[in-house]
Amino acid sequence: MKNVLLTGSTKGIGLAIKKELELSKYRVFGSGRTNLNNINYLSVDLSNTDNAKLLYKMAKEALGNIDILINNAGCFFYDSIDDMDFNKAKELINLNFITPCLLCSLVAKDMKKNNYGRIINIGSISGAVGEAYASIYSATKAGLSGLTKSLALELAQYNITVNQINPGWVETELSDSVLAKEEKEQIVSVIPQKRFIEPIEIAKLCKYLISDDAKGLSGQSINLCAGLSCGS
Protein backbone atom coordinates (compact mmCIF):
# COMPACT_ATOMS: atom_id res chain seq x y z
CA MET A 1 0.00 0.00 0.00
CA LYS A 2 1.44 3.35 -1.08
CA ASN A 3 1.28 6.49 1.08
CA VAL A 4 0.30 9.88 -0.34
CA LEU A 5 0.77 13.41 0.95
CA LEU A 6 -1.86 15.60 -0.72
CA THR A 7 -2.15 19.34 -0.09
CA GLY A 8 -5.45 21.16 -0.50
CA SER A 9 -7.50 18.01 0.02
CA THR A 10 -10.83 19.29 1.37
CA LYS A 11 -12.53 20.83 -1.67
CA GLY A 12 -12.80 20.69 -5.45
CA ILE A 13 -9.88 19.06 -7.24
CA GLY A 14 -8.11 17.99 -4.05
CA LEU A 15 -11.15 16.30 -2.58
CA ALA A 16 -11.77 14.43 -5.85
CA ILE A 17 -8.13 13.22 -5.86
CA LYS A 18 -8.39 12.11 -2.22
CA LYS A 19 -11.58 10.11 -2.80
CA GLU A 20 -10.28 8.49 -6.00
CA LEU A 21 -6.98 7.41 -4.45
CA GLU A 22 -8.60 6.10 -1.29
CA LEU A 23 -10.96 4.01 -3.41
CA SER A 24 -7.84 2.52 -5.00
CA LYS A 25 -6.43 1.65 -1.56
CA TYR A 26 -3.86 4.42 -1.27
CA ARG A 27 -3.34 5.88 2.20
CA VAL A 28 -3.78 9.65 1.95
CA PHE A 29 -2.64 12.31 4.40
CA GLY A 30 -4.36 15.54 3.48
CA SER A 31 -4.11 19.19 4.39
CA GLY A 32 -6.22 22.31 4.09
CA ARG A 33 -7.49 25.30 6.01
CA THR A 34 -10.71 23.56 7.03
CA ASN A 35 -10.79 22.12 10.55
CA LEU A 36 -11.42 18.37 10.30
CA ASN A 37 -11.32 15.70 13.00
CA ASN A 38 -9.19 13.19 11.11
CA ILE A 39 -5.89 11.61 12.15
CA ASN A 40 -4.69 11.66 8.54
CA TYR A 41 -5.24 15.38 8.10
CA LEU A 42 -3.64 18.65 9.19
CA SER A 43 -5.39 22.01 9.21
CA VAL A 44 -2.61 24.36 8.16
CA ASP A 45 -1.96 27.59 6.26
CA LEU A 46 0.68 26.73 3.66
CA SER A 47 1.09 30.33 2.56
CA ASN A 48 3.26 30.43 5.68
CA THR A 49 6.19 28.50 4.25
CA ASP A 50 7.43 27.52 7.73
CA ASN A 51 4.44 25.17 7.88
CA ALA A 52 5.83 22.96 5.10
CA LYS A 53 8.14 21.24 7.58
CA LEU A 54 5.30 20.81 10.06
CA LEU A 55 3.09 19.19 7.42
CA TYR A 56 5.88 16.86 6.33
CA LYS A 57 6.59 15.89 9.96
CA MET A 58 2.92 15.16 10.73
CA ALA A 59 2.45 13.17 7.53
CA LYS A 60 5.55 11.09 8.24
CA GLU A 61 4.39 10.37 11.77
CA ALA A 62 0.94 9.29 10.54
CA LEU A 63 1.99 7.28 7.48
CA GLY A 64 5.49 6.13 8.38
CA ASN A 65 6.72 6.93 4.87
CA ILE A 66 5.70 9.21 2.00
CA ASP A 67 5.79 7.49 -1.39
CA ILE A 68 3.82 10.09 -3.33
CA LEU A 69 3.52 13.87 -3.09
CA ILE A 70 0.72 15.77 -4.82
CA ASN A 71 1.09 19.55 -4.58
CA ASN A 72 -2.46 20.74 -5.14
CA ALA A 73 -3.01 23.61 -2.67
CA GLY A 74 -3.10 27.01 -4.29
CA CYS A 75 -4.85 30.34 -4.56
CA PHE A 76 -5.81 32.76 -7.31
CA PHE A 77 -6.73 36.40 -7.74
CA TYR A 78 -7.26 38.83 -10.60
CA ASP A 79 -5.50 42.20 -10.71
CA SER A 80 -3.67 44.37 -13.22
CA ILE A 81 0.08 44.49 -12.70
CA ASP A 82 0.08 48.25 -12.04
CA ASP A 83 -2.52 47.87 -9.26
CA MET A 84 -0.89 44.78 -7.75
CA ASP A 85 -1.07 44.32 -3.99
CA PHE A 86 2.36 42.76 -3.48
CA ASN A 87 1.60 41.58 0.05
CA LYS A 88 -1.22 39.57 -1.48
CA ALA A 89 1.09 38.51 -4.31
CA LYS A 90 3.70 37.30 -1.82
CA GLU A 91 1.10 35.08 -0.15
CA LEU A 92 0.17 33.64 -3.54
CA ILE A 93 3.81 33.00 -4.48
CA ASN A 94 4.45 31.28 -1.16
CA LEU A 95 1.44 28.98 -1.45
CA ASN A 96 1.62 28.24 -5.18
CA PHE A 97 5.38 27.91 -5.58
CA ILE A 98 7.65 28.17 -2.53
CA THR A 99 5.80 25.64 -0.36
CA PRO A 100 5.64 23.06 -3.20
CA CYS A 101 9.41 23.52 -3.65
CA LEU A 102 9.99 22.93 0.04
CA LEU A 103 7.78 19.84 0.14
CA CYS A 104 9.56 18.42 -2.92
CA SER A 105 12.88 18.94 -1.15
CA LEU A 106 11.68 17.23 2.02
CA VAL A 107 10.13 14.15 0.40
CA ALA A 108 12.94 13.72 -2.15
CA LYS A 109 15.40 12.77 0.58
CA ASP A 110 13.26 9.80 1.63
CA MET A 111 12.32 8.86 -1.92
CA LYS A 112 15.98 8.70 -2.93
CA LYS A 113 16.75 6.41 0.00
CA ASN A 114 13.83 4.16 -0.96
CA ASN A 115 14.65 4.30 -4.68
CA TYR A 116 11.01 5.08 -5.39
CA GLY A 117 8.75 8.10 -5.57
CA ARG A 118 6.06 9.94 -7.46
CA ILE A 119 5.55 13.71 -7.43
CA ILE A 120 2.67 15.50 -9.13
CA ASN A 121 2.34 19.27 -9.25
CA ILE A 122 -1.08 20.70 -10.03
CA GLY A 123 -0.41 23.67 -12.28
CA SER A 124 -2.80 25.59 -14.52
CA ILE A 125 -3.38 26.26 -18.16
CA SER A 126 -2.69 29.90 -17.21
CA GLY A 127 0.92 28.93 -16.55
CA ALA A 128 1.18 27.21 -19.92
CA VAL A 129 -0.31 29.93 -22.14
CA GLY A 130 -0.56 33.03 -19.89
CA GLU A 131 -3.61 34.92 -18.68
CA ALA A 132 -4.16 38.67 -18.67
CA TYR A 133 -4.78 40.15 -15.20
CA ALA A 134 -3.47 36.98 -13.59
CA SER A 135 0.23 37.60 -14.14
CA ILE A 136 1.53 36.56 -10.71
CA TYR A 137 -0.68 33.46 -10.62
CA SER A 138 0.41 32.50 -14.14
CA ALA A 139 4.05 33.04 -13.19
CA THR A 140 3.80 30.71 -10.19
CA LYS A 141 2.27 27.95 -12.29
CA ALA A 142 4.86 28.44 -15.04
CA GLY A 143 7.51 28.21 -12.32
CA LEU A 144 6.08 24.87 -11.23
CA SER A 145 6.51 23.63 -14.79
CA GLY A 146 10.22 24.50 -14.72
CA LEU A 147 10.54 22.83 -11.32
CA THR A 148 8.80 19.73 -12.64
CA LYS A 149 11.12 19.32 -15.62
CA SER A 150 14.28 19.99 -13.63
CA LEU A 151 13.40 17.63 -10.78
CA ALA A 152 12.42 14.93 -13.26
CA LEU A 153 15.99 15.02 -14.59
CA GLU A 154 17.57 15.29 -11.15
CA LEU A 155 15.62 12.39 -9.64
CA ALA A 156 15.22 10.02 -12.61
CA GLN A 157 18.04 7.70 -11.55
CA TYR A 158 16.26 7.06 -8.24
CA ASN A 159 13.07 5.69 -9.83
CA ILE A 160 11.25 8.93 -9.01
CA THR A 161 8.91 10.51 -11.57
CA VAL A 162 7.82 14.15 -11.49
CA ASN A 163 4.92 15.38 -13.61
CA GLN A 164 2.50 18.28 -13.77
CA ILE A 165 -1.20 18.55 -14.62
CA ASN A 166 -2.41 21.89 -15.99
CA PRO A 167 -6.20 22.08 -15.65
CA GLY A 168 -8.25 24.59 -17.59
CA TRP A 169 -11.57 25.80 -16.24
CA VAL A 170 -12.80 23.24 -13.70
CA GLU A 171 -16.36 22.61 -12.53
CA THR A 172 -16.12 23.27 -8.78
CA GLU A 173 -18.05 25.04 -6.05
CA LEU A 174 -15.45 27.81 -6.27
CA SER A 175 -16.02 28.45 -9.97
CA ASP A 176 -19.78 28.43 -9.41
CA SER A 177 -19.46 30.93 -6.57
CA VAL A 178 -17.28 33.45 -8.42
CA LEU A 179 -18.79 33.24 -11.91
CA ALA A 180 -22.20 34.54 -12.85
CA LYS A 181 -24.23 32.35 -15.21
CA GLU A 182 -23.57 34.74 -18.10
CA GLU A 183 -19.81 34.75 -17.40
CA LYS A 184 -19.71 30.98 -17.32
CA GLU A 185 -21.60 30.74 -20.62
CA GLN A 186 -19.15 33.18 -22.19
CA ILE A 187 -16.16 31.11 -21.01
CA VAL A 188 -17.71 27.87 -22.26
CA SER A 189 -18.24 29.45 -25.67
CA VAL A 190 -14.46 29.77 -26.23
CA ILE A 191 -13.54 26.30 -24.94
CA PRO A 192 -13.25 23.88 -27.90
CA GLN A 193 -15.14 21.10 -26.10
CA LYS A 194 -17.73 23.60 -24.82
CA ARG A 195 -17.48 22.41 -21.23
CA PHE A 196 -15.59 22.73 -17.99
CA ILE A 197 -13.27 19.93 -16.85
CA GLU A 198 -14.69 17.75 -14.05
CA PRO A 199 -12.50 17.25 -10.93
CA ILE A 200 -12.74 13.47 -11.33
CA GLU A 201 -10.88 13.74 -14.66
CA ILE A 202 -7.91 15.30 -12.86
CA ALA A 203 -8.15 12.70 -10.10
CA LYS A 204 -8.06 9.81 -12.56
CA LEU A 205 -5.08 11.31 -14.38
CA CYS A 206 -3.28 11.58 -11.03
CA LYS A 207 -4.03 7.92 -10.36
CA TYR A 208 -2.54 6.96 -13.71
CA LEU A 209 0.58 9.09 -13.29
CA ILE A 210 1.43 7.48 -9.94
CA SER A 211 0.84 3.96 -11.25
CA ASP A 212 3.51 1.59 -12.52
CA ASP A 213 1.93 1.88 -15.98
CA ALA A 214 3.21 5.48 -16.12
CA LYS A 215 6.74 4.84 -14.86
CA GLY A 216 8.18 6.02 -18.18
CA LEU A 217 6.39 9.37 -17.98
CA SER A 218 8.39 12.05 -16.21
CA GLY A 219 9.02 15.76 -16.64
CA GLN A 220 5.74 16.21 -18.48
CA SER A 221 3.26 19.08 -18.18
CA ILE A 222 -0.11 17.76 -19.32
CA ASN A 223 -2.77 20.30 -20.35
CA LEU A 224 -6.11 18.88 -19.19
CA CYS A 225 -8.20 21.76 -20.47
CA ALA A 226 -10.86 20.54 -22.93
CA GLY A 227 -8.69 21.82 -25.79
CA LEU A 228 -8.37 25.39 -24.47
CA SER A 229 -4.58 25.48 -24.89
CA CYS A 230 -4.85 24.67 -28.60
CA GLY A 231 -6.57 27.95 -29.46
CA SER A 232 -10.02 28.60 -30.89
- Annotated catalytic sites, by residue? 137
Contacts of 191 (CB under 8 A, 6+ apart): 168, 169, 225, 226, 227, 228
Report the distance separating Cα 175 and Cα 186, nearest Å.
13
Q: What does the buried/exposed string (b/e) look like for 117-147 if buried means 16 or more CB atoms within 10 Å of the residue's CB?
A: bbbbbbbbbbbbbebeebbbbbbbbbbbbeb
* Axis crossing angle, helix 199-209 with helix 12-23, rounded to the nearest 10: 50
Report the distance separating Cα 74 and Cα 162, nearest Å.
18
The total number of residues written for the chain in this structure: 232
CA terminus-to-terminus distance, the chain? 43
Residue 72 burial (CB < 10 Å; 0-12/13-18/19+)?
buried
Number of neighbours of residue 153 by Cβ within 10 angstroms: 11
Q: Provide the 8-state DSSP code for 230.
A: G
φ and ψ at 72, to 5 degrees? -110, -30
